[in-house]
Structure 1
Amino acid sequence: MSHNLSPQAAGAAADVTRDAVLTVRDLNVVYQGATPVHAVKDVSLTLHRGEILGLAGESGCGKSTLAYAVNRLHDWPAEVTSGSVTFHDRDGEDLDLLALPPGRLRRFRWSKLSMVFQGAMNALNPVTTVRAQLEDVLTTHRPGMSKQERGARCAEVLELVGVEPRRMASYPHELSGGMRQRVMIAMALLLDPQVMIMDEPTTALDVLVQRGILREILRLRDELGFAVVFITHDLPLLLELSDRIAVMLRGEIVEYDTAETLYRQPRHPYTRRLLDSFPSLTGERGAFLRDGAADRTQVPTDGGAR
């Protein structure tokens, strides 16, 4: 099975069926209206078990639209017009996610594939305790669990993400931004999913908190074996975190390769521009623009403007 990718995006197309857990083929999503917007165009991706697949691109390029389409969370006017999304369960069953009936889809979400939404730091209910919100997931999807079992499971996942179980009695406003984000990740882990989609999970967090959460994601992936689709505009972050990276531009995957190859040998001009947009912390001082032309004069040591 091969990817329908542009020549620039063909780098990781080989061996796409090896231990795959999720495959997306020729997916198209259109926002219908007087002037339809083709937000996702013929996207094909494969996620392997235990892999972290990064999805990079500027705001508005279709990253979140793709994630919502995979999880069938779109409402009208968004419409999947063609393509397929297949989940390869551990038990050997292949599920066509775009064709699952509502009841089966409801049971599938969170238990097989969970999602940490963009802006998740503020997604918790402000008038309900952390315990009540975590237990609600278990009550819905694991109705046979006792109250004691639910409490033990909630405490377990909070500990996994570095939050003390006593915080279950807290309300969201009593937690820091980093702790709220960790609670959302714990919620996504409650049912031991095989795939987790994380849409900008570290947005609005300071660098130190972001670093701590990324370490937790890597540790949990190694410990629990789930696969991750990590969505962000921050390409350098993905180079450090991901096994493979797909670069998205105007709804299309324009480059798709291992993180190392994409860093050392980027093929698409947009990928090169993304890499060049982040300054080096160790390199020599470079030129900066003045009156639209490159100026080779060094930046003043006092930080003043020229």
Structure 2
Amino acid sequence: MLTIDDFSVDYLGERTTHAVKNVSLTLGRGEVLGLAGESGCGKSTLAYGVTRLLKPPALITSGSATFHSREGYSVDLASLGGADLRAFRWDKISMVFQGAMNSLNPVISVQAQLEDIFTTHRPEMKWKERRQVAGDLLERVGVDRSRLKSFPHELSGGMRQRVMIAMAMALDPQVMIMDEPTTALDVVVQREILDEITRLRSELGFAVIFITHDLPLLLEISDRIAVMKGGEIVELGDAYELYTNPQHPYTKRLLASFPSLTGERGDFIRTGVADARLGVEDAVTAVAHSEGADR
């Protein structure tokens, strides 16, 4: 669905910052591609660059991003501008931005914000059809259609995030980019959101680029994972292979940085058995740390 080739982004200033450095990635049809890395490593900058949402002083210095439509044609995103770019966004590639409350207009109802998508991109739709489809979208993501009249501040964090996902799905895009869609949500709501994303992906067949610093979360939902550090992709591979046989030292440190319910560091999912390849402390040291924390 998407080919990113040798893509680089700089932030210009007194001192130029090389935020994204020669990144190459591919996204398959119906695939969930995880993009993991610490804060500030360039994940969101890459997503904004691909969708042409960057503003000065950001500058794309090299590379290309090509969209391969399911209808059989390809589009170089750099060639789009003006009305063509506006028509392309949301219709072919949509984005769920980090922080739903910052993305939703606080003084406009959910209904008005959903219907605005159709007014802009589907002007031929009648108002009754727009209202019906807006309600259907909410119900598809698990929100009652009565919430159409609500304002963003009247919704919980999880409901606001679901509204953002509904907006991103409105025009049946072929690719959805999700920039930390579960940040600041509690773990129960996170699980609900992830289940919704997985279900909708299966039903509608869109591909997903899922951006987060939470590597264990990506291991649960991704087909492949790209690990990013300092603006570069340092490791890319099948999610299970990356978990069981990480190659790059940074990936090993990421895996070892998450605690386990068993108290042994690095063993956050599945077996609860320490894996020496991750460079974590041995069981005795881990138990000692756990006992110290209990005291």
- TM-score with structure 2 setting the length: 0.91
User: How far apart are residue 284 of structure 1 and its match?
Assistant: 4.7
Amino acid at match of 1:303: D
SS in 1 for 2:217: helix
> Structure 1 counterpart of 2:175, which letter?
V
Report the counterpart of residue 100 of structure 2 in structure 1.
120
Greater CA drift, 246-255 or 274-283: 274-283
1:116 alignment partner AA: V
2:77 equivalent to 1:86: no
Tell me the secondary structure at the aligned position of residue 300 of structure 1. Answer: helix
Q: What does the per-residue CA deviation read over 1:219-245, in whole Å, with 9 as the maximum and x for residues that have no partner?
A: 000000000000000000000010000
**2:94 is the counterpart of 1:137:** no
Aligned match for 1:262, one of 232, 242, 246:
242
Aligned pairs (5 A) from 1:277-292? 277-282=257-262, 284=264
**Contact conserved, 1:158 with 1:183, CA < 8 A, in 2?**
yes
SS at match of 2:134: helix
Say yes or no: does 1:217 pair with 2:208. no
* Contact kept? 1:122, 1:180, Cα under 8 Å: no
Counterpart contact for 1:178–1:205, Cα < 8 Å: yes
Higher relative contact order (CA 8 A, sep 6+): 1
Alignment of 1:138-287 (within 5 A): 138-282=118-262, 284=264
The residue type equivalent to 2:43 in the other structure is K
Q: 1:299 aligns with which of 284, 290, 295?
A: 290
What is the match of residue 24 of structure 2? Answer: 44
Residue in 2 that maps onto 1:97:
77
* TM superposition shift of 1:119: 1.2
Aligned counterparts of 1:217 and 1:248: Cα–Cα separation in 2: 23
How far residue 218 of structure 1 moved from its aligned partner, in angstroms, is 0.0
1:124 Cα offset (Å): 1.1
Q: 1:34: Cα distance to partner? A: 1.5
Deviation, structure 1 residue 283: 5.9
Deviation, structure 1 residue 125? 1.1
1:1-80 matches, cutoff 5 A: 21-80=1-60
* Mean Cα deviation higher: 86-95 or 116-125: 116-125
Aligned-residue CA RMSD (Å): 1.7
Percent identity at matched positions?
A: 66
Q: How many residues align?
A: 279
Which is helix-richer, 1 or 2? 2
Amino acid in the other structure paired with 1:38:
H
Aligned residue identity for 2:112? A
The more displaced of 115-124 and 59-68 is 115-124
Look up the equivalent residue of 1:243 and give its one-letter code.
D
SS at 1:38 equivalent = strand
Relative distance call for 1:180 and 1:296 in structure 2 (3 A) is closer
Stretches of structure 1 lacking an aligned partner (at least 5 in a row): 1-20, 289-293
Q: Structure 1 residues 284, 74: closer, same or farther in 2, change over 3 A?
A: closer
Partner of 1:6: none
Could you list the structure 1 runs, at least 4 aligned residues long, displaced by more than 6 angstroms after superposition. Answer: 285-288
Residue matched to 1:13? none
1:121-163 CA-partner distances (Å, limit 9, x unpaired): 4321111110000001110000000001101111111111000
Change (3 A) 1:36 1:179: same
